[in-house]
Every structure is written in structure tokens, then in C-alpha cells.
Chain A
Amino acid sequence: MSEDIFITETTIDGADDGPLAGQTVAVKDNISTADVRTTCGSRMLEEYVPPYDATVVGRISEAGATIVGKANMDEFGMGTTTETSHFGPTDNPAAPGHVPGGSSGGSAAAVAAGEADIALGSDTGGSIRCPAAFCGVVGIKPTYGLVSRYGLVAYANSLEQIGPLAATTEAAAALLDVVAGPDEYDGTTREDPNADRGTYAEAADGDVDGLTIGVPTELLEGAEEGVVETFLDAIGTLEDQGASYHEVSLPSVEHAVEAYYVIAMSEASSNLARFDGVRYGHSGGYEGNWNESFSTARAEGFGPEVKRRILLGTYALSAGYHDKYYKKAQDARAWVKQDFDAALEEADVLASPTMPVTPFELGESLDDPLQMYLADANTVPVNLADLPAISAPAGETGGLPVGIQFVGPAFGERRLVRAASALE
């Protein structure tokens, strides 16, 4: 049985002993593995073989894990379904015939299908949480700065974090324990100020007695009825265990999707400028001049979604439009941060459906990019606010998985793990 989970199957043995000894790991194919090809799901990097390991790869190897494959993904992380991959779509093991979500769809599918015990993905606007929700597994988007991005091929570096996926909250938290922590090769990493409160895995004790949960009304409004019902059932389960919930309002999130896409596309247009087919990547040949060769390499090497985002990002940053789009998006980002900070003064965690919809059928959704972008409404605000979030299985509606998302304050991963583990 193959769901096209891996772009490259491989075996990279880790150390003989360590906290992850005996565990198999799927690694998203935008995370560099020395001497094993790392494609980002793109024709541009179809033959790219990194000369060094990402920091997170070194850490899981030292912890004893065995890497079993480089997992399929939306091209350069740009998508919500894993269908923009140059290497073809991945089927959803939890809902065959449906997309696994994206962009870390291969990572989530590997865990759901039992092809790997645990997985690493990356989350720029929901790319860990969406596939976790669609495949019925657990995924954590860490606080910005908790996990090193060294060796992660950049898409939108002010937003993205590497994080774990696993079948259980405790297993995901244990993988986070291994990869988290400062790295001299990534100046945006920080020491967890709550490090004295035990490991993330130890927080998976299911104790939610007294936990206060804020539910942002704006994040329920656009969701499908069956998704909302499943979500509220999960909240009810937590109430039965001593948690309480109240509604909160986050007016800024009405603008989060637009702000997210302006910022992500702008950063992408800059980050992806490096792919010119000279130092690495698909060559544009040697006919014509420098610009013609670059333009050929990029026309042939990038798929439509990547071209769309590069062009829109270039436009948003161009003279005369920078203040109108980019600066307003930064204002919206700051507003979202303030809203979340205020809501988290009154609640231990915020909760919402991870995705407002259930998994799309394969091939259903690629024609209308704006509709696709709007499906990210509940996940992108968290990246704008630099906060941690977890997606955990909430149940099913119509036979399809539904995820519940918990959001916490910066470096509040332990309380998210605690809340999610209470649903298992």
C-alpha cells in the first residue's frame, strides 16, 4: 500500500542510545539531511543534496531515532493539501480519497499510516496543525524561537517553526523535548523561560482540573456545523474533567488571513530569489543573458502556487504599494498579538476547531486559490502572534477527522500538552 507519503525513502540510523532510541521518524522534505536529497516538493530542487544536516536532524539522530524517509509536502510549504507537490499528491490514511492537509501532509500521513512512529513538519501558517487535524494525529507548532530553523529551507522566516507530529500528545511532546532549545546557528532561538517546569512529555498528565479555556467566537463563525459540534463535544469532555470555558472576542482575526498572506508572500518573494539555477537547483541553461537564464530556470522549476506567491509578494513590496499592503499587514500582525495577549490574560488557553472544514476530496480544491487561503483562518493568527499551538484529534464528523486547536502564551507549550492529553 502506498499513499505517496515519502518523496525519498531512506534509512539514516541514529545513535545507539537516547530518548528516541528505537523510534522511526519521517522528516519533512524541506528540512536538510546531509547526503540525502531534500526537494521541498519542488522540481527546482529535485536533485538537491544538502551538504549538512539541519540542527533538528542532528538532535533527533543523537537522541537515537532512525529517519525512514523525507516526507511529501506542498511545494516549498505553499499549500493546504499537499497537492502542490511536484511529486504528486499524498492520500489521507485516515480518510482515503481525501487530502491529508498541508503543507506537512506527508509527515502527518506517515504517522497516521504507521510508516513512522513520529514526524517532523514545519508550520508557517498552519502547516503542522492542518495535516494533524485532517489525518487524526497530534501536531505542535512551537513558540517562535523555541526550535532552531537552521537547515530549514526558508519560505517565510518570521512566521515558521519546525515542530513534531505523533499519534499521541506525549509522543509529540517527547519529540519536542529533543529538538527544542537554543542553537548558535539560529539567532532567533531562545531559552525556554519555563524550562524548570519539567519536560514537555511530563506535562501530558491529562490534568485539566481548574483549566480556563477561552473560545474566540470569530473562529467558530466560519466553521462547518459538524466541525463545530465535534469541537464543542471535546470542550464538554474537558468540562467533565474540571475545566471551564467562556467565549472571548478577537476582532483582529478578521484580518489575519489577509495579513498573513501579504507577509508570507512578501518574505517568500525575497527568500526564493536565491533559486536561480546557478549554485544549485534546476538550471535555466547558458543561452541568453543572466536575467533570461534565471527567468527560464524559475519558469521551469516552480509550480503555479509558488509562482503566484512570488509574484504577489513582489507586487506587495514594490514601490508605491509597500505602505498599502506590507505596512498595513504589519499593523494587523501587531493587533493580532495584542488581542491574543489580552485574551490570554483571562484564560489559560484558547481553543477553536483547528480547521473550519473537514478534509477536501483529492483534486477538489486547487482551482480557487483565494478559497484555499481562507481555509487557514483559524491557524494563521497563531503564527502572526508568534505563539505556540497544538492540534489534537477531537473526533469525527461524517467519518472524517476533526481537530481541536489549543493556543497558549509564549513558551506555554506545557499547558497545551496538558489540555490535549486530557482528550486521550
Chain B
Amino acid sequence: MSEDAVTPEAVRHVAALARVDLEDDEVDQFTEQFADILAAFETLDSVPDVDTDADLTNVMRADEVRGSLETDTALRNAPDSEDEYFKGPNVS
């Protein structure tokens, strides 16, 4: 997207992947801004390959049954629920 100019279609495509509806004026604004920002990101091309020796250890615990949130507590923030379930839109 950055080597070619950033196009409104490319912005709409990414927005669709990210599940964010955009207004037309937002598409225009992002198209312009993304060109600048991605041009800045291009400068990472000159970063050398670096060997990483991350100091990582696994953090394990016993696989024991523990308490968790009660159902009504877990549902408390849901915009809508039905019986003991979150209510969502149609899956199609």
C-alpha cells in the first residue's frame, strides 16, 4: 500500500478485516494519514537483522479446578442476554 499510493479501497479493505465501519470522510482522512505513517514505517527497512536471545521461562501451575465468576456476574455487562447466555446477532 505504501509503495503504491495508499488508496481509499485499501483503507476500506483493512477496515472490513478489522470490523470497523468507516464513514466516507473517515476513509478520505485515513487514506491521507496512512500514506505519511506507512512512509515512516518504511524506514525500518534499514534496520539490520538482529539475533535475539530472549530470556524466557515457562510459567506453569497445577491444572486444578478453581472457582470462576458466577454466571449472573459474568452476564452483568452484556447489552442483552437470554437465560444463561449472552445474546448476539444472527450468525449468517
Contacts and interface: CB of A to CB of B under 8 A. Distances in A.
B44 interface: yes
A304 B14 CA distance: 15
Contacts of B48: 331, 335
B11 to A, nearest CB: 7
Given A258-B44, A278-B86, A288-B89, A312 B26 contact: no
Contact of A329 (B26, B44, B49): B44
Given A255-B44, A314-B14, A335-B50, 4 more contacts: A261-B41, A307-B15, A307-B26, A325-B44
Interface stretch (A64-72, A96-104, A109-117, A291-299): A291-299
Nearest to B17: A314
Contacts of B87: 278, 286
Contacts of B21: 295-296, 298-299
Interface in A265-316: 269, 273, 276-296, 298-299, 302, 304, 307-308, 310-312, 314-316
A293 B21 CA distance: 10
Contact of B20 (A310, A321, A328, A373): A310
A258 B80 CA distance: 41
B40 A370 contact: yes
Contact of B77 (A49, A290, A373): A49
B30 A187 contact: no
A71 to B, nearest CB: 21
A51 B44 contact: no
Contact of B44 (A295, A304, A310, A328): A328
**Contact residues of A: prevailing secondary structure:** helix
Contacts of B52: 330, 334
A154 B73 CA distance: 21
B45 A338 contact: no
B44 A311 contact: no
A119 B47 CA distance: 38
Contact of A308 (B30, B47, B73, B78): B30
28 contacts: A51-B73, A258-B40, A259-B44, A262-B41, A269-B18, A278-B79, A283-B79, A283-B80, A286-B89, A289-B89, A290-B88, A290-B91, A294-B89, A295-B20, A298-B18, A299-B23, A304-B26, A304-B29, A307-B22, A310-B18, A311-B14, A311-B18, A311-B20, A318-B17, A328-B45, A331-B50, A370-B36, A373-B40
A307 B29 CA distance: 12
A58 interface: no
A75 to B, nearest CB: 14
Given A290-B92, A295-B20, A51 B37 contact: no
B78 A280 contact: yes
Interface of B: 1, 11, 14-23, 26, 29-30, 33-34, 36-38, 40-41, 43-52, 59, 61, 69, 73-74, 76-80, 86-92
A314 B18 contact: yes
A177 to B, nearest CB: 23
Query: What is the interface residue range for chain A against chain B?
Result: 35 or more
Contacts of B51: 334
Shortest 9 CB-CB contacts between residues of A and residues of B = A283-B79, A299-B21, A293-B89, A280-B77, A187-B59, A328-B44, A334-B50, A289-B92, A314-B18
A285 B48 CA distance: 48
Nearest to B91: A290
Given A187-B59, A302-B20, A315 B14 contact: yes
A192 B3 CA distance: 46
Interface string A207-239: 000000000000000000000000000000000
